[in-house]
Structure 1
Amino acid sequence: MDEREFRLHLEIETTVLEVWISEGWLVPEVTDQGRNFREADIARGQLILDLSNAMGLNQPGVDVVMDLVDQLHSLRATLRDLTDAVRRQPSDVQEHILSELTRVDVQKRR
């Protein structure tokens, strides 16, 4: 969706969008036709609005939360890659990994 549609959907002004982009909270795709926004950008924009309006976070607070959200997404992607790599291993290797995870979990609980 283009910038105008994005702003209308979230009911924000151009200046607000510019702040979000300059802070790195949104990174739209840039094409010859201008900025392009995805559904994920709408979800991020709604989160930013919720954090700043409903929860009263200031700009540095929103920055911290958005950074944590990005870190969480990155960790989930890494975990997904790791899980896929383990699935491609022979069953004895998978069983050994599961055994080690269980051992570590038991040790943590002590």
Structure 2
Amino acid sequence: MLDQPEFARERRVDSERLQIFIDRGWISPPIVEGRPAFRDVDVARAALIADLADEMGVNDEGVDLVLDLLDQLYSLRFAFGNLIDALEVQPRGVRRHLVNDARRLYTLTQRGSRALR
């Protein structure tokens, strides 16, 4: 973990901008001994924010949206991982029925989306 000065040096982010990242909720370092302790995930998010804002010209509202969508995506991946783990311990017959039902649902949703086009 990095403290705020180390983080600012490593990411080449001044303290004021770093505070904006925290205030907007873009990064959420845990507080250790009364000060933020930045993790690898915070460093990675700061790099992404810098790429979005500095390299691609995305404004703050756009950064909010991109980070929110990424957080939703990672949450879904986590939930699906848990679902797969739960399915793997089910009896074979149960798994087969679930797969068949999922295929039917997928086919129905594909037909529905084609009809809307």
TM-score (norm: length of structure 2) = 0.87
Q: Distance in 2 between matches of 1:39 and 1:91?
A: 40
Q: CA deviation at 1:33?
A: 5.7
- Provide the aligned C-alpha RMSD in A: 1.3
Tell me whether 99-108 or 2-11 shows the greater mean CA deviation.
99-108
Tell me whether 64-73 or 20-29 shows the greater mean CA deviation.
64-73
Q: Which runs of 5+ in 2 are unaligned?
A: 112-117
Q: Distance in 2 between matches of 1:37 and 1:87?
A: 36
Tell me whether 33-42 or 19-28 shows the greater mean CA deviation.
33-42
Question: Which residue matches 2:68?
Answer: 67
Q: Which runs of 5+ in 1 are unaligned?
A: none
Question: Which residue matches 2:40?
Answer: 39
Tell me whether 23-32 or 62-71 shows the greater mean CA deviation.
62-71
Q: Which runs of 4+ in 1 moved over 4 A?
A: none
Structure 1 position 81 matched with structure 2 position 70: no
Q: Percent identity, aligned pairs only?
A: 37
Q: CA deviation at 1:109?
A: 3.5
Question: Which residue matches 2:11?
Answer: 10
Q: Distance in 2 between matches of 1:65 and 1:22?
A: 17
TM-score (norm: length of structure 1) = 0.92
Tell me the matched-pair count. 110
